[in-house]
Structure 1
Amino acid sequence: MRTLCASTLIGEFFVIGFAGLVAMKDPGLSTGTVWTVSGVAMVLSILLCGMITRPGGVQLGWALQIALIASGVFVPTMFFMGAVFAALWWASVHYGRKIDEAKARFSAEGSQNSPSGV
């Protein structure tokens, strides 16, 4: 699960950065505010890569997905991009857990079938 989720979060890192560049063009937003919010979200996406398997890591990932969708208020394209990444996040968590379960099952079967002297 960690690899799939981290890949999604790294993709989000870049999308958040590009959205910050687009948001800078809005005369109603100050550059400092845009880069403070974008920077925090970008750092969070990187930190979450290492927190996926810890308690609350997946939930923080969902919070980032919601924030990404909500950023569409300022950059309308982010409604679409946020929805795409939320779907990718769901798939990463869902299929990542299935892969982890299959690996554990395969490992358990392998250790039961191997000769004890080898």
Structure 2
Amino acid sequence: MSKDRPVPGDRIKPKKSALVQFTSMTLQLEAFVVAFAAVALYGLRDSGFEKGPVTLSSPTAIWVAGGVLFVLLLVLSRMTASPAGIAGGTIAQVLVIATGLFLTMMFLVAVVFVAMWVASLRIGTRVDRERRAYDDAHPETAPNM
């Protein structure tokens, strides 16, 4: 018998919450975009190109700010199973929007990620609700695999 398919008597392992999966992945992707934005800001610090209304000319300030936001987003991505993690992720969206003050193009990128965050919250909640409804209607297969 293959262990890919459950057999009677096997322990049923519940699926991970779709809300947790979606929000966690959104924050992880956002963390790497913030890291690349820090690299771009570092490269543009002495150029004449338009960066944003607020200037960070110190390389140390650029790397510390980018690094702190990067780590914050990664830590929050592991906390999305709790309401505090979801609230923290929502607050982090404001911080990512604020990066547009240093690098104007980040306003556009942040809007895309805010849309992804809202979609993750709505769709993840809906998928979890539908899974619970299915499991309630089909107790012999609950939790669905």
Same fold (TM over 0.5): yes
Matched, 1:56 2:84: yes
AA aligned opposite 1:71: T
User: What residue in structure 2 maps to residue 20 of structure 1?
Assistant: 38
Query: Are residues 1:43 and 2:105 paired?
Result: no
| Higher alpha-carbon Rg | 2
Sequence identity percentage: 29
- Structure number with greater CO (CA < 8 Å, separation at least 6) is 2
Runs of 4+ in 1 over 6 A off after TM superposition: none
Q: 1:9 maps to what in 2? A: 27
Structure 1 alignment gaps of length 5 or more? none
Q: What's the TM-score, normalizing by structure 1? A: 0.88
Query: Which of 95, 100, 103 is residue 128 of structure 2 equivalent to?
Result: 100
Q: For residue 56 of structure 1, give the secondary structure of its aligned residue in structure 2.
A: helix
Structure 2: runs of 5 or more not aligned = 1-18, 47-55
> RMSD in angstroms over aligned alpha carbons?
1.4
Q: 2:57 aligned with 1:29, yes or no? A: yes
Structure with greater helix share of residues = 1
Q: Give the whole-Å Cα distance in 2 for the aligned partners of 1:10 and 1:49.
A: 6
Please, what TM-score do these two structures have when normalized by structure 2? 0.73
SS of the residue corresponding to residue 75 of structure 1 reads coil
Name the count of aligned residue pairs.
Answer: 113
Deviation at 1:81, TM superposition (A): 0.3
Aligned counterparts of 1:79 and 1:13: Cα–Cα separation in 2: 15
1-structure distance, mates of 2:124, 2:138: 21
